[in-house]
Structure 1
């Protein structure tokens, strides 16, 4: 079987059998297409270790980030492991493939005061009654208040919200459901949006939808719209040209730990499969503490 066809079959396996997130499937499909373009029209069993190393070397020459190289190596290993199970290759050429380790960089985090100022500003804007302003305020409060992913926000349906308890049922990575809490400011913002803005936005659409967050044309909001919103309002605050909704998730996690939350509780709220993923926020908190100490202590 040609590598291109096998890669598409593998992507379908990831989507329908392993039920990985659409973003992961898209990334792995892109990586394997890049491998096919590098290797040329060869069958799966025609790929050897040297071809894989050459593929990664070409990526380094393009200036791909270490994290991208690590993901591509992981995609190749996962693909050839599957191909061996399917009988497409006799030997797995990726077993000795080594990629540079991902450099662990601390996530972008806004300060407590910056977040308070940002959310207060959007609360005032929402008082105008403009449907988009009400929606944007609710989006920002939910992303920060619940620490959810942008895909989880966009996938929220009306029945997923419990306004009395201040909780939301979200569908995370691997199609795993979890219930996350959010505070009273988020509840007030979402309630105001549902009551005063969502009906007006829904009237712009051609068909009804159960989605909580709606776009300007009345359909379910897309991640790109949310990214644009967050980049516009949060970027200047944190001094980053490219910043997305995940920065609010990073900020929520860091502020929870700053406030004394248990690490495992934060792991549950964020929906991390591994505690190690959550632990990076302890480094963020430690760095912030060190910076504060150096600024404030006379003998720092």
Structure 2
């Protein structure tokens, strides 16, 4: 079976059995297509020709491009999953990636915002306009719930339960969860719904009852929200680089700093594995260490 046919089979598997999102499939396609190109350059015409030696040569090629360990890990994980599928379908006999150890990734601490910076960002919003009220609702929702931007743009009006103070969220792989809403987020969303959202809708609009709309009355995109946040940062005159995911990082960090249980934060963030949430504990430890060494008389020389 040629490379292209094996890829098409894998795409069907990702869509039907794994319920993978379009972005996930595109990420796999990018990684696997790089591998297919490498095989052709090595004059290898079959997936059966791939062995441990071929993989080591492929890794050497990746490192020669000055890729980070994290990026190399992503390639290995993608190809390991791909070959696992090929073995299951009896297209190849064994998975040559199964015994390959992932290189230890570069340790990075998630970037977060301090409360003072959050306040400055909120204060920069002009809530006297329809778009300003919408922007306030977006910001309060992202910081107040920690949901992803990709989840935010999917929210419909009927997903919000003001009585129970929760919001229904569709996460990665269409995994569903309910997230509690705080008082600030509820008030901002109610104001937007009562006073502003209808002003954005026109006869040509295709709102689809999505919660957040652009100036033309159509559903906001992830790119649209990023542009909104960039604009708010400029208006606030802050020199920070702020991206939507930084609000998610801040949400998790501030919860843990104030004593929240790690498992609870995992549920709120929609992480499948606790290890994905544990990285935020390092942020809190670093902050505690910094405060201790800067304030305790016996911590200084």
Q: Do they superpose with TM above 0.5?
A: yes
Tell me the residue number matched to 1:162. Answer: 161
Separation (CA, whole Å) in 2 of partners of 1:104 and 1:202: 46
Q: Is the 8 A contact 1:254 1:285 kept in 2?
A: yes
TM value normalised by structure 2: 0.90
Runs of 4 or more off by more than 6 Å in structure 1?
A: none
Q: Is the 8 A contact 1:146 1:252 kept in 2?
A: yes
Does the residue aligned with 2:124 lie in a helix, a strand or coil? helix
Separation (CA, whole Å) in 2 of partners of 1:24 and 1:170: 18
**Aligned CA distance change for structure 1 residues 112 and 238 (closer, same or farther; 3 Å):** farther
1:176 aligns with 2:175: yes
Please identify, of 187-196 and 106-115, the stretch whose mean Cα deviation from structure 2 is larger: 187-196
Tell me the residue number matched to 2:201. Answer: 202
How big is the shift at 1:86? 0.7
Tell me the residue number matched to 1:46. Answer: 49
Q: Is the 8 A contact 1:110 1:238 kept in 2?
A: no
How big is the shift at 1:56? 2.5
Does the residue aligned with 1:197 lie in a helix, a strand or coil? helix
Tell me the residue number matched to 1:24. Answer: 24
Separation (CA, whole Å) in 1 of partners of 2:166 and 2:217: 24
Tell me the residue number matched to 1:13. Answer: 13
Deviations 1:227-259 (A, max 9, x none): 23334545975834xx42111111001111111
Does the residue aligned with 2:135 lie in a helix, a strand or coil? helix
Separation (CA, whole Å) in 2 of partners of 1:162 and 1:49: 54
Q: CA RMSD of the aligned region, Å?
A: 2.1
Q: Is the 8 A contact 1:132 1:216 kept in 2?
A: yes
- Give the number of equivalent residue pairs: 294
Please identify, of 205-214 and 66-75, the stretch whose mean Cα deviation from structure 2 is larger: 205-214
How big is the shift at 1:98? 3.4
**Aligned CA distance change for structure 1 residues 119 and 37 (closer, same or farther; 3 Å):** same
Aligned pair partner of 1:81 in 50, 61, 84: 84
Tell me the residue number matched to 1:107. Answer: 110
1:2 aligns with 2:5: no
Separation (CA, whole Å) in 1 of partners of 2:12 and 2:150: 20
TM value normalised by structure 1: 0.90
Tell me the residue number matched to 2:36. Answer: 36
How big is the shift at 1:149? 0.8
**Aligned CA distance change for structure 1 residues 61 and 238 (closer, same or farther; 3 Å):** farther
Q: Is the 8 A contact 1:169 1:179 kept in 2?
A: yes
Q: Is the 8 A contact 2:206 2:219 kept in 1?
A: no
Q: Is the 8 A contact 2:207 2:213 kept in 1?
A: no
Tell me the residue number matched to 2:213. Answer: 214
How big is the shift at 1:272? 1.3
Separation (CA, whole Å) in 2 of partners of 1:104 and 1:19: 30
Separation (CA, whole Å) in 1 of partners of 2:77 and 2:239: 32
Q: Is the 8 A contact 2:32 2:79 kept in 1?
A: yes
